[in-house]
Every structure is written in C-alpha cells, then in structure tokens.
Structure 1
C-alpha cells in the first residue's frame, strides 16, 4: 500500500497538461451518409445538409457510415500559428483531408493504410497545421470505419502544447503498460512454479488488457500491424474477446464459483461459449463485424454484472471475499463502465472518460495484485499444512510398516523356529539314511526360508537407513563356515555339483563382531553361486592372517555357472536385479541378496570384487577384518520403559528364600507360544546341570520368581497380560527385591528388527537373540552370563 498512492499521484500528474491548447477560431459541421459519396457529390450538397457540431453531436459511437466534416480554421493573431490537428481515434479505419479545389487528399490517415504513408510517423492521426497571421483555411474531411467508435471533432494543439502532451503521455503510458507487463510476467512465473490456474488466467488476462489498450492507443497498428491489414484493424475486437473471456475465467477460479455456487457457475459457462462466438462473428461478414462491436461491449457489461453478483453473494452469504479483490473489481467496473458508455455515446468524449478504462485497470491491477499476494500466502499456508499432513501420514505409514515388519518377523520366525528345532534335534539322533536325508531337506529349506525373511527385513531397514552392526557379540568363525557350507553343500550335491570348502589357514576360536551379519554375507554369496550353477563345481577358499588387534579373512568363491556380461555385472548390486534381467523366475530368490551384501560389506569396512564372463562362471573375492575377542561390556540401560499398569496392583512379593549354593543353573523361560516352549525344552534338555521352568507370560514369570530362585531368564517380548519389556522393567525397578534386580535376562524373540533389539537392551536386558536360536549359542550365552553373575556375587 505504501507504493500505491505515490504511483497513482504520479499517474494523475502525468495527465495535467493533456488538454487541447490553441487560440484558433474553429467551426465544425458534419454530414453522415450510409452510402459512399464522391468529393463532387459532397461539395454539391446544400449547406443546410451539414449539421453544426455542438457538444456531443460529433460523437457517433459505433458507426460504419461515411462521415464528412467541414472544418473552418481562423488565426486572429498577429503571429504565425504552427501546430497539429488530431483527427478521429487511433482505431479509425480511413481519414482523408481535402483542401480547396484539390481533388486528391492532401493527407491520409487511419489504420487501414500503411503506417509509412502517414505525413507524420505517429500512432495518432496527426495532421500538421500552419496558418499565417490573420488568415484562415477550410478543409473537407472524410471519415470511414467498419464499426469502431468515432468522434468527428478535430483536436487542435499548438506545437508546444502537442509536444508537452507527448512527454506527459509517454510517462503515463510507460507507467501503465510497464505495470501491466510486469504483473503479467510475475504471475505467469508464479503459475510455472505453483501450477495454480488462477495465476495463469490472471497473467493472460493482464496481457489481453495490454493488447486491448495498446490497440486503442494505436501501438498495435504502429508496431505489430503497420501494413494496414484488415486483421490489424480488427485486433481491438479480438483482444476485447480475450480480455472478457479470461477475466471471467480468473474471477471464477479466484472465487471458486464452481465449488461454492454451482447454479451461478452455469451462467459463467454460458459466457464461456457466448464470448468466443462473438469472436467468430468478426470474420463472417461486414454486417456481423459491425454488430460484434456492440456484442463485445454488451458481453463485457454483463460479465462485470455477473462477477459483481458472484462477489456480493459469496461475500455476504458464504464467506468473506478478499478486500483487495473487492476494491480491484470495483475500480475495474467503474472504469470499464465509463469506457463502454462512452463507446455507446452515452457519456461525453473527454480525456478522463476516454481513458477511464486505463485508470480503472491501473487501480484494478494494483489491488488485484495485492489480492493475489494474499492468495500466494494462503497457498503457502495450505501447502505447508498439506506437507505437515503428508509428513504425518508418512510417519504413520512408517510406524505401521515398522509394526507390520516386526509382527511378520515374529509370526514367520516362530514356526521356522519350531521346524528348525525339530529338524536339528532329529539330526542329532541315530537315524536311518533316508530319515537323515529328509531332515536335512527340512532344515535346508527352513534355512532358505529364514534367509528370505531376513532379506526382507534387512532391505526395509536399509531403505530407512537403520541397519547397524552388533560389534559386541563373540562367535566361532569356523562354526559359521561349517553351518553355512554344510547347508549349501547339501543343496549343491542335490543338483549334482561338486562343492568344496578349503581352509588354507587355521581360524581363531573366537572373534568379536556381528556374527549374524557375517553369516548373512557368507550365506547370500554361496546361495547365489549354487543357484546360478547348473553343472560343474562351487569352491570356497578361505585365508586367514593375524594383524594385531584384528584378524583378516580373505575368501575366494568361484563357480562354473552361467556367468555375467559387463552390463549385467554393473547391475548385480541393485535391488530386484533378477526382475530387471527378465530371467522369468528361472533361478528363484527375491533379488535382494547382493544388495544387502553390498550394504553389509560397507558397514564392516570390507571390500568385495566380482569377476565374471558369460558361460565361464563367476569369481567373488571378499576381504574382511574382524576384531579379536575383547571383554564385552554389558549394555547400559539408556532409558526407562513406562509401565502401562500399576505394579502394586499385582500379587507380587520379593523373593524371601535363600539362593542355593549349587552348580545347577536354574533357567526361567517366559514364553507364551507352546511350540517355542517345546523347542526350548528339547534344546536344553540334554544340557547337564540345567533346570528349566516355563511361564506363559510376563506376569506369571514374576509370580514364579516371587516363590522360587532362578539364575537366568529367557524372556520373550510379545506376550499377553504382561510383555517382556514390562516384565523386565518391573524386575529392574526392584519390585521383586534386590536379589533379582540384576539377574541376567536374555531376550529370545522372533522379532529381528534393529529397533526391537535397541529397545530390549535399553529396557535392561543383558543380551538379545532371535529365533530360531542355535543351541550352541544359547548354551554359551547362558553359561557366560550366569558365570559372571556368580563371580560378581
């Protein structure tokens, strides 16, 4: 607003010296005819056939007649008069000026003659005048248009007044058109960025206004259509049609008439059809061209009335309309109303009326631009709100996805745990060859299924950037190699392949690092070698060297499989690569194995190289370093878990009995799944000096701990009544007494997600194991934690 008033004062100041200024005696009379007359015929007309021009009689409105004007100019001064005479309007088609008995015009004007033929290169129809002292001159002037508004009154300017007018007018028009083009460009840029159609309609509307006013001022003729073509003379009608059409489109879009007032929007639709039809009438015939001038202005008036009705109704009945939009439309209506009424000869033809549209449009553009600024603010707020909603939805979906993955991990691993447990137990017995083969098939298939489940969960964590290594665990690398190669060696031999695993160097008994991820890398690489080899062999060679605090393991895995081309080799670490290679599920698998391997290799700080040739097989080299065993630190609880219940409401009491001094290890298993209970019983049944008791949920586990002494707890996480987190939090809080506050707790769960592991350790559990558990690892962990506990005691 601080720029508005200075701008408007400048516009008005530019108009201060635009009035006519001459001291000549001027007498004007005119004659109108619907048919063309020759110069001799006009001269032969009786004097009383010409009407004396008074007031607004020279304003003919929309006219396609022939008009003849007799002009008398007298100079009563003692000095020469030099100046200019302006005839008609810039859009007048033809003007011919005759003098005395000369049968040819001494000057021609109008936009239907080439611009270069004008006596003065100017957008206005300007005729130079020279009159000696106390002299006079008479002219006969012929006007003809195809329907434009016409004013027969000549305008006389002294030379000084004319040039002064040009200076002021140039500043006025420069500001006016500059403002229009700047507004149009800005809002078209806004449309390109925001894709909001309101900005597009408004930008085109402002450009159409500039074209319409440029046609009325003669700029279109001077710069774009200087040849005097018929199309150039009719550009004012086309620009009027475009202006009217896009003003309606912009108003309907800004006010959201289609959504708020469907019945009134039907009227908008009527004009969306009627206005282009008027544009068609321009080119049908001279008669339709003449009437199109009326129809264009009538459409403009009715459109303004429709916009006003919509604005008023919406403002008072539905919702408040932006105040800047209301003000802008008011000025536009007032300016265009005066302009149209002047065209219809209902208002006098002076400077203020003739340029009323410019003043109205200038004010309208300023205020509508302010309203568009408010619209931008609203769009920004809506966008921010939608982004917040989208972010919230994304977070909700991510949380639901995490919950789903946690559940699916638990639900899939639970039966796999039972299958692997039974198969492993049976393989330890003295069975016949056929039974042993069947159980090996069951165990191998279970491992494959478990591998796929792990890949799905890990891929989801990789996408979220949450996959991390557990570097605190200790494992036997030889056992890992044995487990994996036994499983895949069995699969290879089923396919008729030769499978060899060669340990060139002796491996350490214990290494520190993420056993699960190390096993996963090895499993995925060997599974690919076996899967993509139909004939020949698969060979794994392992080298090991001691490098101070680390052990360097170099593996070379070669096969005689199908191999890969350079193009295929460049894509092997991409997810779902089999689908991209279109092998039609020939080799099976999810297509995630090598993607996960690459990510895990980066986390280990290792290196992997793959060489391959089509039909010649593939060679994979893996160089990996693992730390020698250090004293593992017990995870420190980082945050407490809020209980959803009052622990005092349960019948719990601190254990009052003595903890027997015995070599036996008393294990409490908190597990609700009957199959998992059975598997744990079978896995631990053969372990000497180990006693096992079962609790069906966390609450029952706490109650059993109140009555009996235990050395360690195997805690499931997802249980009814009280889950593993709540039970652990109750134990660590001292609800069962100081004797149990530091009892070792191992999380044994089918949920293998990293977030679950972190939560379990933060709750106060000492270790985390995922189902299906390996017997050796579980027994080792039980002895390790109970041994430390007894030493501490």
Structure 2
C-alpha cells in the first residue's frame, strides 16, 4: 500500500514539473489586442554554432547535440561577433481564433536574420530579412527587422531564428507586436528620432551657412562632424538602407564603418582646430595628427582589405574611445595652461563622453542592453550638439569682437598709411617739382635771352620734356586723390576762350612735331567766361588730346567743340576728339577707363606713360556730372565724346581779377617783394624772373625766421612764400605775420604761396592760415605776374562794389 502511494505522488510531481517546463518553454498568447510589445526572452534558448552554416532542416537534425543557453534580458547584447547563432522559442495561441502578430529581433544593421516557423504537419514556413536583403524583398517594409507571423487557434508552434553578422554587434530584442503596439512603437521612434535628427540638421545647416559667411575653418569641420554623426545614426537606425541604398551593395554594407570612422576623424580635427591645441601643447597636437593618420588608414583598409572586416568594428570603437579620452586630456591641459575653452564646449564634450561611453560599453557587452543604453549615444550626441552649437555661437561672438578689433586696428593702420602716403606724395611732389622749377625756369630764361636758333630749339625740347614729367607727377597726385575720393572741383570764373586757344596752340605744336594734321572745329560760338574748375576742364581735354597724338603715327587729330545754351544760364558743352591712330581692340574697350590700362601691355614700353590718363578723365567727367564714351576700331582710330555742363556767370557780375597786360611786359611800379625760399636753385630761378620785371626790387630770405627779421628792418609790399623750409616753414611764418609779430602794418600784406607741394591738403592749409593765393612750381612768369597784380588790385578795389 505504501509503495502505491509513493508511486502516485512521484507521478503527480513529474506531471507538475512537466507543466512547469512546458510553461517556461512556450509563451501563451490569448489575443492580438495588446498595445505594449511582449518579450519572449524568458522562453527562448540560444546557441553559437561558430562559422558553420546550417539550413533549417540540417539544424533540426543536430539540435539535440547542441548546447543551448538562456537569454539574459529583454534586449541581450551578443557583442562584436562574426559567429552564427541559432535561437528557438515556442508560441501558444490559447484563443479560439487565429491571431496575426509581428516578431521584432536583431538590429537594423544585422546582415542576415532567418525566421523559421514550424506549422501544422511539420511543415516549415521560412522568412529572411537583414541588411543584405534588398528592402523591397523584406517580409515587412520597415527599417527594423520585423517578421509577420500567423498563429492558428489553440495551437502551439515552434520558431527558429538564425543570426549572421560580419563582425558587428548583434542585439536580441525578442518582441512580439500586435498591429497596435507596432504602430505605437513606430510613433515613439519617430518622435525621438525626429527630435534627434532635427537637431543635427539644424545645427549642420546653420554652421555650414556661417562657414560660407565667415570662412572660419572650425565651422566647416563642425558641419563635417554633424554630417558624419547623422550619417552614422541613419545607418545604425536603418534609415540609410531604407531610403538611400534600398538595394544594398558594398556602400550599404560598410556604411556604419565608414560613418563611424569619418565622425571620429571630423570630431578629432574639429577639436584640434577649435581648441587651438598646437598653441598650448605641441605634443597633444602630434597625438591628434597620429590619431587622424590611424583613422585614415582604417578607412583605406575598409575600402580595400575586406578580409579583416570583423576586426574593423571593434577597432573603430576603440579609436573613438581613445579620441574621447584624448579630448578630456586636452580640455584639462588647456585649463592648466590658461587656455580653457568655452563652458558650453566642455558641457558638450562631457555629454557626448557619457552617452558614448554607455553606448560603447553596451557594444562590448559590459552593461545590460536596453532601449536607454542602446540609444545613449543619441541622447549624448543630441545634448552635445546643443551645447557645441551654443559654444559655436559664442565663438561667432568672439570672432565678431575680434573682427571689430582687427577692423579698428586696420582702420588705424589705413589712416596711418594714408597719412604716410599723403606725406610721401607731398614730399615726392616737392622733391621733383623743385629741380623741375629750375630746369623749366632757367631754360625759359635762357631761351628768351639767346638769339641762337639751335640753342632755342634745344631748350624747347628740354621744356617739353620737363612739362611731360610734370604732367606725370600731376597724374600720380590726381590718382591718389581719386583713390581716396578727395578729388574736388573749384567753382571760379575763368576765360573759356583763352583756355581753348592755349590747348589748340599746344596741340598744334605737338602734332607738328609728329607730322600730324590737327583740325579744330567749333560749332556755335563759345562764351568768353564760364564758371567751374579751369584746370580740371583743361586736364580733361589735354589728356584726351595727348592720348590721340600719342597713339597716332600718321593722319589727323581732330578737336570738335559744340556748345548749346540751356535754361537757367547753363552751358551744354560737348567735346569730341577723334584720331586716325592705332585704335583699341573691342575686348579692351570695357576696361579702357580702368587705372594702369593701355590698349596692350607693350604700349607702356612703346608709348610711355602710366596708363592713368583715361582713368583720371573719367573721374573728372563724373565729378562734373557729365558723361564720357569711347568708340574705336583697331587700326582705324578712336573717337572720344565728352558731354558736361557749366554754369555761366551773370552778365552784370564784375570779374575780380588783375588788369590785363601785354605778354612779356612786367612792371610793378616800384614795388618791393620778399622772396622766402631755402633752395639756392629756386632762388636763382626767382631772381631770373623778377630781374626782368620793370620797377621791381626784391630781397631773399632763406627761411621763415630770416623773413621775420627782414620784415622788421625793411619795407616790403608782397611776400612770395615757400612752404617747406628749415628753422621755420612757410605756414609758421605766415601765422606769425598775420598775428602781428612783425608789426600791424604787415598783418594784411599780400602773401602768395610758391611751393612744390601740389596736394589739396597744402592748398587748404594755405587758405586756412590766411595766405592770399597759391601757385605751384615750376613757376611761370606770366602766371606769377598775374597773381601778384591781382593781389595789388584787390587791395585797391572796394569789394562791396563787385560782390
């Protein structure tokens, strides 16, 4: 009796144990209306078959011989591996109707995942998915590896899953989804990934635009890093395969490796440049360069050495870990060397460091796999991008501040450079005009006193050459004024007919020397007087005439002037200068008014000149609010048209000028002149001029102090004052005289500046300190006599009568 009881109890225990084992080996499902995925990891077993490939039929035969292990968690991480794994579990439908479910497993980047479902009568239904399967051939059109499964009512079915990898990490989510839970899970992913990729897109786009605006190298490196991070996560999440390479291929298979390597390279290079590592640690700078070389070598190996692919996955992660620790060391070193970085940069690095460390530890299987650890790199990267973007914003602020500071320095340097340039031009004008004054003045004096025709002819050549050099000096000074936008026009009454007559005479002589025919045409009568800048109008016409003669070897040069009266006493002046010279090629016409441009480069050697003439003409015409056009045919000649307007003086306006005198007749009626000049040659020139003036006496002072002494002991009627002199210059001497240092009788004595400084600065200063007139060297006797007589004339007239 006792034995029977013991046997009964044993049987009951065996049955109970069997029920327990059965409940652990299969998952009971009662429907398909759940909204959270159900994991079957507790009911699954897994085995590693190494490099052996089994078909399902082969695997079932050897199944009993293999050692299976339990699954440790809901998303177990198998680590980096190229081994093949087989997993098995069972599902039981306890409901009275069939149910449709979805099974999610593996990572989106797992190469091959096969699901084999043992259905009725021992038949097997097989499905294949994975990164090596074209997207449109997957069982479910989803970025993840998801299989649809059908369970008949009140049945238990066995499932076998095979995983194949080329060395990447294999994860084992073993989730059963209903249609509702799959949709809700996708919505959750869309929200999380949408925010993540949105941050990457926004940060990358903004700083790419900033790079094109600022051209700061760190911005393009930051964009490259953000782009490579986005590329990496798109590959890890399966979006790259789904949307970019749905048919697979080499690039698809290696996208994760390439993206990971490039992100390491970009992040390292960005950190190296952004933190200016070379400035505070050459050793760390070399380590960064070594790391970059290692990454580039790895990229080359990925592209060309396929046999070691299973090693590349852990290697790229190791390089990533090395970079993170290197950045931490760099940040610490910079702090101790007083080169600490922006706080947001530090927070960004710490965020990424934390997220990436969890991600890598998860990849190596050190910590349990979960949704948080699997996506820790996204959280860390997202925070990093936010903090780094704030850091880059600070960098923009710093760059802006530095740029403003540099602009301030550049402005100060520019102003200093302009002052130096003005001083240089003033000096060069003075130094060149001083000897030219002697050459022109003495040659003219000798020419007037000699009767030898050969000597006169030679002296005329000297004068023409000197005037050519003087014109070149004027062009340089005018070009400098154009550059600084300091060229201004005067508004004075001048004799228009006399000016045109002088230009005609000068051009006729130049044309005669080249055996050219000069033609002058006047359409409508020129008014005698006009209001404007006589010297600038003369310069416009003379430059164009000089060009016409310079580039014409035979034929004609023609000057045509047409005038027309407009309302409000305005004169419309049209000037046309044509020649039969070399002409200009069509491709050069658009640039002919630019500085230093002649018809061809060799023209500067062949014809001389700086190539500034037309540039100055255009600037002067524009100052007159006029227009200049040019028409030319190569080899047939050139025509230049200038159109501008001049105001005419009122008919009842009296002209304030010295009385006219006969050319060559100079008489000051007993006036005594003080010449203040330090240069012996210029003194000689002034002596040669004034000695020919009747009833004129003069004395010479070598500088301003000597002039003041002479004024205290002798009587003078007018002073010819040089500006640049030792001891006391002309400005200081004039101010002293006007302030009554030499007595009240000299406070209003006429003072004419006679200087080699032709700059506007000198002209304005001369006027501001109270000089009566201004003329530049070389001194023309007629011009000097006219200015002297004008000063005496103004002393005798009542200005209220002529104003």
Q: State the TM-score, normalized to the length of structure 2.
A: 0.83
Deviation at 1:180, TM superposition (A): 1.3
Which moved further from structure 2: 438-447 or 349-358?
Answer: 438-447
- Provide Cα deviations, 1:451-510, integer angstroms capped at 9, x if missing partner: 2222222222233332233333656853x5665555554444444456687999998887
Deviation at 1:373, TM superposition (A): 0.9
Asked whether the equivalents of residues 26 and 71 of structure 1 are also in contact (C-alpha less than 8 Å), the reply is no
Deviation at 1:292, TM superposition (A): 1.0
Asked whether the equivalents of residues 20 and 155 of structure 1 are also in contact (C-alpha less than 8 Å), the reply is no
Asked whether the equivalents of residues 666 and 690 of structure 1 are also in contact (C-alpha less than 8 Å), the reply is yes
For 1:326-475, list aligned pairs within 5 A: 326-472=346-492, 474=494
CA distance 1:109–1:443, change in 2 (3 Å): closer
Partner in structure 1 of residue 44 of structure 2: 28
CA distance 1:231–1:591, change in 2 (3 Å): closer
Deviation at 1:529, TM superposition (A): 4.4
Deviation at 1:541, TM superposition (A): 7.7
Which moved further from structure 2: 618-627 or 250-259?
Answer: 618-627
Asked whether the equivalents of residues 218 and 273 of structure 2 are also in contact (C-alpha less than 8 Å), the reply is yes
Asked whether the equivalents of residues 591 and 597 of structure 2 are also in contact (C-alpha less than 8 Å), the reply is yes
Asked whether the equivalents of residues 670 and 698 of structure 1 are also in contact (C-alpha less than 8 Å), the reply is yes
Distance 2:584 2:314 in 1: 78
Distance 1:422 1:580 in 2: 38
Asked whether the equivalents of residues 754 and 776 of structure 2 are also in contact (C-alpha less than 8 Å), the reply is yes
Distance 2:306 2:540 in 1: 86
CA distance 1:405–1:19, change in 2 (3 Å): farther
Secondary structure in structure 2 of the residue aligned to 1:318: coil
CA distance 1:25–1:723, change in 2 (3 Å): closer
- Provide Cα deviations, 1:655-690, integer angstroms capped at 9, x if missing partner: xxxxxxx96322222211111112112211222332
Query: 1:517 and 2:544 equivalent?
Result: no
The match for 2:729 among 698, 723, 728 is 723
Query: 1:251 and 2:271 equivalent?
Result: yes
Partner in structure 2 of residue 788 of structure 1: 794
The match for 1:108 among 106, 111, 128 is 128
CA distance 1:136–1:191, change in 2 (3 Å): same
Q: State the TM-score, normalized to the length of structure 1.
A: 0.84
Query: 1:218 and 2:235 equivalent?
Result: no
Partner in structure 2 of residue 777 of structure 1: 783
CA distance 1:774–1:545, change in 2 (3 Å): farther
Structure 1 residue runs without a partner (length 5+):
1-17, 635-661
Secondary structure in structure 2 of the residue aligned to 1:672: coil
Distance 2:487 2:267 in 1: 57
CA distance 1:198–1:231, change in 2 (3 Å): same
Distance 2:553 2:612 in 1: 21
CA distance 1:580–1:103, change in 2 (3 Å): farther
Distance 1:613 1:81 in 2: 92
Asked whether the equivalents of residues 24 and 75 of structure 1 are also in contact (C-alpha less than 8 Å), the reply is no
Distance 2:584 2:320 in 1: 72
Asked whether the equivalents of residues 666 and 712 of structure 1 are also in contact (C-alpha less than 8 Å), the reply is yes
- Provide Cα deviations, 1:122-172, integer angstroms capped at 9, x if missing partner: 222223455578754322222221112123452234544333222222111
Deviation at 1:761, TM superposition (A): 0.7
Partner in structure 1 of residue 114 of structure 2: 96
Distance 1:66 1:541 in 2: 99
The match for 1:688 among 694, 704, 710 is 694
Distance 1:540 1:112 in 2: 86
Deviation at 1:301, TM superposition (A): 0.8
Asked whether the equivalents of residues 201 and 249 of structure 1 are also in contact (C-alpha less than 8 Å), the reply is yes
Query: 1:761 and 2:767 equivalent?
Result: yes
Secondary structure in structure 2 of the residue aligned to 1:33: strand
Query: 1:197 and 2:217 equivalent?
Result: yes
The match for 2:308 among 288, 307, 322 is 288
Partner in structure 2 of residue 6 of structure 1: none
Asked whether the equivalents of residues 405 and 457 of structure 1 are also in contact (C-alpha less than 8 Å), the reply is yes
Secondary structure in structure 1 of the residue aligned to 2:742: coil
Secondary structure in structure 1 of the residue aligned to 2:365: coil
CA distance 1:566–1:241, change in 2 (3 Å): closer
- Provide Cα deviations, 1:629-678, integer angstroms capped at 9, x if missing partner: 955789xxxxxxxxxxxxxxxxxxxxxxxxxxx96322222211111112
Partner in structure 2 of residue 37 of structure 1: 54
Partner in structure 2 of residue 50 of structure 1: 68
Distance 2:293 2:563 in 1: 84
Distance 2:380 2:344 in 1: 14
Asked whether the equivalents of residues 75 and 370 of structure 2 are also in contact (C-alpha less than 8 Å), the reply is no
Secondary structure in structure 2 of the residue aligned to 1:106: strand
Partner in structure 2 of residue 647 of structure 1: none
Partner in structure 2 of residue 87 of structure 1: 105
Distance 1:91 1:509 in 2: 95
Distance 2:412 2:779 in 1: 37
CA distance 1:520–1:315, change in 2 (3 Å): same
Asked whether the equivalents of residues 563 and 614 of structure 1 are also in contact (C-alpha less than 8 Å), the reply is yes
Secondary structure in structure 1 of the residue aligned to 2:492: coil
Query: How many pairs are equivalent?
Result: 748
Distance 1:509 1:127 in 2: 104
Partner in structure 2 of residue 527 of structure 1: 546
- Provide Cα deviations, 1:538-581, integer angstroms capped at 9, x if missing partner: 67688999999788988776766556677777766554443536
Which moved further from structure 2: 22-31 or 388-397?
Answer: 22-31
Structure 2 residue runs without a partner (length 5+):
1-33, 658-667
Asked whether the equivalents of residues 490 and 533 of structure 2 are also in contact (C-alpha less than 8 Å), the reply is yes
The match for 1:675 among 661, 673, 681 is 681
Query: 1:592 and 2:612 equivalent?
Result: yes
Asked whether the equivalents of residues 184 and 206 of structure 1 are also in contact (C-alpha less than 8 Å), the reply is yes
CA distance 1:19–1:633, change in 2 (3 Å): farther
For 1:295-334, list aligned pairs within 5 A: 295-334=315-354
CA distance 1:379–1:98, change in 2 (3 Å): same
For 1:237-248, list aligned pairs within 5 A: 237-248=257-268
CA distance 1:632–1:25, change in 2 (3 Å): same
Asked whether the equivalents of residues 133 and 247 of structure 2 are also in contact (C-alpha less than 8 Å), the reply is yes
Deviation at 1:783, TM superposition (A): 2.2
Which moved further from structure 2: 692-701 or 379-388?
Answer: 379-388
Query: 1:735 and 2:741 equivalent?
Result: yes
The match for 1:137 among 151, 157, 177 is 157
